Amino acid sequence: MKTAEPTNADTASYPLTARNRVKRRHDRGFYDHETVHKILDASMMCHVSYVIDGQPYCTPTFFWREGTKLYWHGSSASRMLKNQTAQQRVCLTVAFLDSLVLARCGFNHSADYRAVMAFGNAYLVTDPEEKERAGIAMVDRFFPDRTASLRETTAQEMKATSFIAMEIEEASAKIRAKGVADDDEDYELPIYAERIPVKTVIGAPEPCPRLLPGVERPASLQAYSEGRLLEDALTDAYFLQYPAS
Amino acid sequence: MKTAEPTNADTASYPLTARNRVKRRHDRGFYDHETVHKILDASMMCHVSYVIDGQPYCTPTFFWREGTKLYWHGSSASRMLKNQTAQQRVCLTVAFLDSLVLARCGFNHSADYRAVMAFGNAYLVTDPEEKERAGIAMVDRFFPDRTASLRETTAQEMKATSFIAMEIEEASAKIRAKGVADDDEDYELPIYAERIPVKTVIGAPEPCPRLLPGVERPASLQAYSEGRLLEDALTDAYFLQYPAS
């Protein structure tokens, strides 16, 4: 575990540096914990970038936040994790596509979106207590209190799983949420323009066909109901599990 | 433009190398053009990874495919693009989250997903003809034939836009589509398990409030109708614009 170093946990914003400053469209950039964390906590999947022999890799994976730390996990045998254990630089990105924006010229075609880029050094979680906590959080952050109802994780399974953590050193959020934005004079043209909203929703849950008789869906899964926005379910689950976050 | 080098365009599969081989769960790995391209062509957004001074960056952006080439674009002033113009190594990743999988133990919690990682050298499109074609494709790949109906792009706008291209040197697709997969003995336990489908759909299109009277939604946007899967609309649009692909 990292220990004595100063962290961003006590400040309300991530520091602004050459690395995380939103350069293009800087009016769309945010650095405060509230904005950055809200986007992170609404997502299950992120993309983690890392470098092996000068070649960048970008791997989609699940992650979760604890304070100003991010966690992800995978097989101890995976290339991604083997290369993220020695304080390696990584960039973890989360992005939501909120709409497609069709303007009156090609140049102003755009999208509404919310994205976070977080930078730091990845390290392998070796502290037994932190690893045990991460083993619970990887399930309960998404499905509150579910671990208590599950068959216990074996030592072998725990050994086969690596957890990677990263203290967020720098982060930025970039948000566009304004729909069609044409040049003033273009509004006078007889050209069709629109915003096409996009949303990621939950379908009808499919119980495992091999459930034992009498085993019912627990109330703790109510957040995941058909038609809900996935991000709303994930945000609700997050605050149930981490009420003080 | 890259010219005389051999490309993957004439083969039915991307070559298998140490870089793109799916190591973990190799039964989930695919390298054939058909599987890789189908995932790419169903998506509008990708994550592009690149390296500046040893630090990886992961930027969400729009992209499209032409044969075995991928294109993306952005402001000529952007950090991402400035660092992708000199034959820089990049990894372009597309991922679909198809379901959350709740198993009978923590270790078997998983997800159904489809993902592609594509590797190559990024280069700035400088050939005027290729740049002009890209300027049309960046709109028409998503909204067939739309460019012809738009206010023409100015020379200033074209100058402010950079297009980046990458011949796919290696690519892999990784797919999981099996829902709950518990250890044999765990099926005997009275524990609830399910698959929660996730889908990204189109909302009700919102016409620009400043449309001139009589300007109607063109029939070419019919693919984007409320309730449809975004990936189906994008795939339909792709094959309308690139019927031979």
Domain A26-200 CATH superfamily: Electron Transport, Fmn-binding Protein; Chain A (2.30.110.10)
pLDDT above 80: residue A56: yes
Q: Which value, to the nearest 10 degrees, does the dihedral of the CA atoms of residues B139, B145, B149, B154 take? A: 40
Q: What is the pLDDT of residue A7?
A: 56
* Joined tokens for residue A209: 């066909």
Q: What is the pLDDT of residue A53?
A: 87
CA distances from A225 to A6, A145, A148, A232 (A): 41, 17, 22, 11
Give residues with Cβ within 8 angstroms of B203, minimum separation 6.
A99, A196, A197, A198, A199, B226
| Distance of alpha carbon A54 from alpha carbon B90, whole angstroms | 10
Q: What angle do CA A50, A56, A57 make, to 5 degrees?
A: 65
Reported as type and span, the H/E element at residue B173 is: strand B170-176
Q: Are A164 and A71 in contact (CB under 8 A)?
A: yes
Tell me if B78 and A203 make a contact (CB, 8 A cut-off).
Answer: no
Q: Are B241 and B140 in contact (CB under 8 A)?
A: yes
Interface check B51 vs A, CB under 8 A = yes
CA distances from B116 to A3, A219, B43 (A): 37, 36, 11
Q: What is the pLDDT of residue A10?
A: 59
What tens digit of pLDDT does each residue of A201-242 get? 999 999 999 999 999 999 999 999 999 999 999 999 999 888
List chain B residues with pLDDT less than 70.
1-11, 23-24, 79-80, 82-86, 245
pLDDT above 80: residue A23: no
Chain B residues in contact with A150 by the CB 8 A cut-off are 104-106, 191
Q: List, in sequence order, every residue forming a beta bridge with B63; answer none if it has no partner.
A: B72
Interface check A133 vs B, CB under 8 A = no
What tens digit of pLDDT does each residue of A116-134 get? 999 999 999 999 999 999 9
Q: Are B103 and B110 in contact (CB under 8 A)?
A: yes
| Distance of alpha carbon A153 from alpha carbon A206, whole angstroms | 24
Q: Where do we find the tokens 């793109």?
A: B20
Tell me if A107 and B153 make a contact (CB, 8 A cut-off).
Answer: yes
| Distance of alpha carbon A96 from alpha carbon B45, whole angstroms | 10
Q: What is the pLDDT of residue B33?
A: 96
Interface check A49 vs B, CB under 8 A = yes
Tell me if B198 and A202 make a contact (CB, 8 A cut-off).
Answer: yes
Q: Which of A91, A121, A134 is nearest to A7 (CA)?
A: A121
Q: How many CB atoms lie within 10 A of CB A120?
A: 23
What tens digit of pLDDT does each residue of A29-46 get? 999 999 999 999 999 999
B158–chain A nearest CA distance, Å: 8
Q: How many CB atoms lie within 10 A of CB B126?
A: 11
Chain B residues in contact with A141 by the CB 8 A cut-off are none
